[in-house]
A and B are shown apart, each in its own frame.
Chain A
């Protein structure tokens, strides 16, 4: 058990005041911090000082200079969120509910601890507060870890199910193949698509140029109908490769051609951008 041998209230205000800086800079040990926070509750002068120093210390972040992170970070964040949303949406709601009930439990404990201070169970209450805030921090970490592993499990599950549907299409008895060639904007790009009326569509491309910010590749299936059908969005990896499986409506006419265009993030109902790959059915 940590013990705090710092100043004792209220005899030495100056000694407490010296801790305001270390407190806002986060350099106090957890027991010191708990003791200081208890002091703050009863010392307006220190509390005002801390509020003012908070603003000041926040400004230090601006002193570090602004630097661009890797463009991958934004994509990874949105992908992690999308995975969590589509696959473990209901579970994360459960985590949210758990976290809400946790904070109300803890504020209850904190209130109980404050009451103890008020009835002069001083030292014991301080220790208790320190332990409560330590436990809360550990619980928060555990909840974050749980949320992370949930999203990893979801990723793995999605990968497995994609692989399954890819195999299903490629082994379909009614398989048709379309080879796509790179267009002038992406002469090195190439792709092959497999389509089965009963099982869907598998697309595999390579040498696709890196996507500009907020753009996506969109795959179009062209049938005898005049309007191209948007089959789905494609996000190539760093090496410009992408493999994806899409469902197609059973009533869809046999594709006569396929094309990839560059479109705004999220996709569009009808093609608007440059064609990157085009292929005709045999």
Chain B
């Protein structure tokens, strides 16, 4: 859970970036690079591509910090959104998409390796555990939508399920996930308005 102190600190850094202080980008990077890189790597499964996307994200932060809107959530949520959208755009744009979709079938559903698992914070473990506890058919749909950027129709074709079933399962899965996470202290981890750059 991101403490209010950390959110305040992040907002102060964004203000400095808007005021054209480049060292604030370095500080913001130091705070969040591992979370964002874990997410981007999970999506792209290629370290050098993930490095590039992470770089893009922070150059974007430098050029577009004034578009951050505190009313829509904490800075970390904005960063997560930028990173996820950039990574999915990249995945869609290149042949890595096919590769990732194929390897997702072969690899364990949780893409992280023992190296990262060992270093997971309590919060990450909570999220991972909650996902683990979901019925497989619900968890797969949610993970493939979020980490592979597959649309409903793509999910329906991939799993040979009627579109209605995809929608219902996804919804049931999200509701179950919310229930599991609301029992723990995880709340407002990252407010997540969809779409925009």
Contacts and interface: CB of A to CB of B under 8 A. Distances in A.
Nearest to A26: B194
A170 B62 CA distance: 38
B171 A54 contact: no
Interface in B39-71: 39, 41-42, 47, 50-51, 54-55, 58-60, 62-64, 66-67
Interface string A78-120: 1011101100000010011001100100000000000000000
A56 B146 contact: no
Given A27-B152, A28-B152, A53-B174, A64 B195 contact: no
A137 B188 CA distance: 27
A218 interface: no
Contacts of A24: 174, 192, 194
A59 B190 contact: yes
Contact of A62 (B63, B123, B143, B171): B123
Interface stretch (B6-14, B28-36, B95-103): B28-36
B25 A76 contact: no
Contacts of B35: 61-62, 66
Interface residues of B, number: 82
B119 interface: yes
B73 A54 contact: yes
A77 B66 CA distance: 18
Q: Is the interface of B mostly helix, strand, loop or mixed?
A: helix
Interface in A45-65: 51-65
Contacts, number: 199
A66 B125 CA distance: 11
A58 B190 contact: yes
Interface string B102-137: 000000001110011101110110011011000000
Contacts of A17: 171
A19 B152 CA distance: 10
Nearest to B50: A69
B4 interface: no
A66 B174 contact: no
A-B pairs with lowest CB-CB distance, top 9: A58-B190, A65-B116, A65-B112, A58-B192, A54-B192, A66-B34, A63-B127, A64-B42, A25-B145
29 contacts: A21-B171, A24-B192, A24-B194, A25-B142, A25-B170, A27-B145, A27-B149, A27-B150, A27-B155, A27-B170, A28-B151, A33-B194, A33-B195, A55-B192, A56-B174, A59-B189, A62-B123, A62-B189, A63-B110, A64-B112, A66-B37, A67-B112, A69-B50, A70-B51, A72-B51, A77-B29, A81-B22, A96-B66, A147-B59
